[in-house]
Amino acid sequence: DIVMTQAPLSVSVTPGESASISCRSSKSLLHSNGITYVYWYLQKPGKSPQLLIYRMSNLASGVPDRFSGSGSETDFTLKISRVEAEDVGIYYCGQLLENPLTFGSGTKLEIK
Amino acid sequence: QVQLKESGPGLVQPSQTLSLTCTVSGFSLTSYHVHWVRQPPGKGLEWMGVMWSDGDTSYNSALKSRLSISRDTSKSQVFLKMSSLQTEDTATYYCARVGPPGFDYWGQGVMVTVSS
């Protein structure tokens, strides 16, 4: 199984500042078709997860462009610029390259 | 619009079988894959399995011996059955659609408690 390792466990951010969350996969998520199958989700308190970034760097529909994704074959970063109070929750990375689909353990973002 | 909604019992006794239904609207089960993902209280996400759009299924090997996913396309429903439930199966169970951008729509989730 592909292991997804996230860091940090939690991050506290002042509104207006930036935050970065890292995710590392135990196997390259770069498919031979050129697509990197890493995804980012946000689970707001008491809610279902919602898709933020797909295929490493593509912004999901309706997601503010304060969110961006980048990375390589195994190391990925979610950056949140100009953090707002509505960004609180747990961020998960996940891979759709192969079954079983796996997720990182989550990074909790709090507002200072 | 696209919607998924899980339904099922909130409480299941140990060793019993869990049956959940995911009712979808706004898309066809023959065009999109529907996955089941669960989340124990205060913990992360665990992928359980998928009903592919062609009717085939795949399962997490850790659950495969206890898990069955099926569907009724005429009712736009996907079913999950998991046997021999234990307390560690207590979780919120989600169904989610995978479209071109991945898990693009999730149900609200159904909390299942395994307890006598």
CB A69 within 8 A of CB A82: no
Of residues B104, B108, B109, nearest to A60 (C-beta): B104
Strands (E), A1-112: 4-7, 10-13, 19-25, 38-43, 49-54, 58-59, 67-71, 75-80, 89-95, 102-103, 107-111
A102 beta partners = A95
> Is some CB atom of chain A closer than 8 A to the CB atom of B106?
yes
Which pLDDT score is estimated for B19? 98
Which pLDDT score is estimated for A22? 98
User: Per the CB < 8 Å rule, is A103 touching B45?
Assistant: yes
User: Per the CB < 8 Å rule, is B102 touching A61?
Assistant: no
Which pLDDT score is estimated for A16? 97
Which pLDDT score is estimated for B101? 87
Which pLDDT score is estimated for A92? 98
Query: In angstroms, rounded to a whole number, what is the distance separating the alpha carbons of residues A52 and A38?
Result: 11
pLDDT at A72 over 90: yes
Distance in Å, alpha carbon of A28 to nearest chain B alpha carbon: 18
pLDDT by 10s per residue, chain B, length 116: 999 999 999 999 999 999 999 999 999 999 999 999 999 999 999 999 999 999 999 999 999 999 999 999 999 999 999 999 999 999 999 999 998 889 999 999 999 999 99
What is chain B's Cα-based Rg? Answer: 13
> Is some CB atom of chain A closer than 8 A to the CB atom of B58?
yes
Residue B42, judged by CB atoms within 10 A of its CB (0-12, 13-18, 19+), counts as exposed
pLDDT at A109 over 90: yes
**Which residue of A29, A55, A101 to mutate against B (max B Cβ within 10 Å)?**
A101
Which pLDDT score is estimated for B100? 84
- Return the closest-CA partner of residue A53 out of A64, B48, A44: A64
Tally C-beta pairs within 8 A across A and B: 53
| Mean per-residue pLDDT, A60-83 | 97
Alpha-carbon torsion, ordered A9, A14, A17, A20, to 10 deg: 0
CB A53 within 8 A of CB A62: no
| Mean per-residue pLDDT, A20-38 | 97
pLDDT at A43 over 90: yes
Paired tokens of A29: 């998520």
> Is some CB atom of chain A closer than 8 A to the CB atom of B36?
no
